[in-house]
Amino acid sequence: MKIVIDERIPALAHRLAPVANVQALPAERITPATVADADALVVRTRTRCDARLLDNSRVRFIGTATIGTDHIDLAWCAGHGIKVVNAPGCNAPAVAQWVMSTIGHFLREKDYTPDRLTLGIVGVGHIGSLVSQWARHWRFRVLLNDPPRALAEGAENFTDLDTLLSQSDIITVHTPLTHNGPYPTYRLIDGRRLRLASSCALLLNAARGGIIEERALGDFRGNIAIDCWETEPVPDPDLLGRAYVATPHIAGYSLEGKLRASAHMLAELKRHFSLAVPDLPAYPDSFSPASIEEVTRSYNPMADTAKLRGNPADFEHLRNTYPLRHETHYFFRQ
């Protein structure tokens, strides 16, 4: 069997080589020609998996070593018998590290104390839940918005979005990007809702570009921290210039997060194709909350901001050559 793998997914190609014909390719070389005779495809977000790529291929399995699946035409794949799997939660500690380090630097710069502030979290999945745990440890008042969870679990622990926006001093977004369904998130926070957030001092997006309506941010008076851009890989120059933190979609780029995703992809491939290869090492993603000092010591988003501001045209290069950092809890084990 033949498996095509994005070359920036670590450890996976080497582990599969004894049992498959493995081609590890840069994302730009994953094309209809290179996947035509492949049985399986393992990608990152930069590979759009749809009819244009797959229509004349024999691919029957797609793994994305990411949390999100908005780069995959799920309906088309389902209609053509292609199994799709992702890696939920793989980079949650890394994204939480980016969020909480940004907040930690902001608190110190402004001389704010968490116990006097309200943090609003929009989307309480793997990442939002981890951010919530750490924020409560820092003694923030925390508001949670997650309509699917509120429907399933009861509304008492959740807040409606408009109330969260109007009451939060800091707001961080952690939803998937969806255009349809009962809870679409494309431009969920638009101009009207940004006006509700008039008391917000810091708005963070490390989820997906397009969840916050970027063109409406011109009137937003608070600070902005952005990792995921609506127009990437070409960040809006005005937004780049005024953002408190601006990074090239690398919030989840930790060594441990990448290896978690690889281990998950290997397990799914083994299950689907009955492959006899050893598992990859496991990296736990559940920890006790980290302190402000620990998080800010483990990662400084200002350094990545300076690099992107100095080279905005190199967004993709900065992302593709990013030196994977250690997550907070592994940083102190080196």
- 208 catalytic per annotation: yes
pLDDT, residue 23, reads 97
> Does position 286 have pLDDT exceeding 80, yes or no?
no
- What's the average model confidence in pLDDT over 11-30? 97
Q: Tell me the β-bridge partners of 23.
A: 4
Q: Is the pTM of this model over 0.85?
A: yes
pLDDT, residue 287, reads 79
> Does position 304 have pLDDT exceeding 90, yes or no?
yes
For 27-31, 79-83, 281-285, which range has the lowest pLDDT when averaged over its residues?
A: 281-285
Q: What strand order describes the sheet that includes 141-145?
A: 141-145, 118-122, 170-173, 202-205, 223-226, 245-246
pLDDT, residue 79, reads 97
Which of 208, 260, 264, 319 is catalytic? The answer is 208
- 249 catalytic per annotation: yes
Q: Are 84 and 69 in contact (CB under 8 A)?
A: yes
- What's the average model confidence in pLDDT over 109-131? 97
Query: Residue 101: which of 326, 295, 307 has the closest Cα?
Result: 295
Query: Any idea which fold 92-246 has?
Result: Rossmann fold (3.40.50)
- Domain boundaries defined on the chain: 2-86, 92-246
pLDDT, residue 285, reads 80
Which of 232, 256, 268, 294 is catalytic? The answer is 232
> Does position 269 have pLDDT exceeding 90, yes or no?
yes
Please, what CATH class does the domain formed by 2-86 belong to?
alpha beta
pLDDT, residue 247, reads 98
- What's the average model confidence in pLDDT over 33-41? 98
Q: Are 21 and 5 in contact (CB under 8 A)?
A: no
Confidence of residue 68 (pLDDT cuts 50, 70, 90): confident
Helical pair 126-137 and 92-110, crossing angle rounded to 10 deg = 40
Confidence of residue 240 (pLDDT cuts 50, 70, 90): very high
The DSSP H or E segment spanning 264 is: helix 255-273
Q: Which residues contact 43 (CB under 8 A, 6 or more apart)?
A: 6, 27, 30, 49, 62, 63, 64, 65, 71
- What's the average model confidence in pLDDT over 52-66? 97
Which of 46, 105, 193, 249 is catalytic? The answer is 249
Report CA 297 to chain centroid distance, whole Å. 21
- What's the average model confidence in pLDDT over 206-217? 96
Confidence of residue 333 (pLDDT cuts 50, 70, 90): confident
Query: Residue 131: which of 102, 161, 105 has the closest Cα?
Result: 102
DSSP code at position 11: S
Residue corresponding to tokens 């090239």? 248
Tokens representing 76 are: 């088309």
Q: Are 216 and 190 in contact (CB under 8 A)?
A: yes
Give yes or no on whether 2-86 and 92-246 have one common fold: yes
> Does position 284 have pLDDT exceeding 90, yes or no?
no
> Does position 31 have pLDDT exceeding 80, yes or no?
yes
**In whole numbers, what is the pLDDT of the chain averaged over residues?**
96
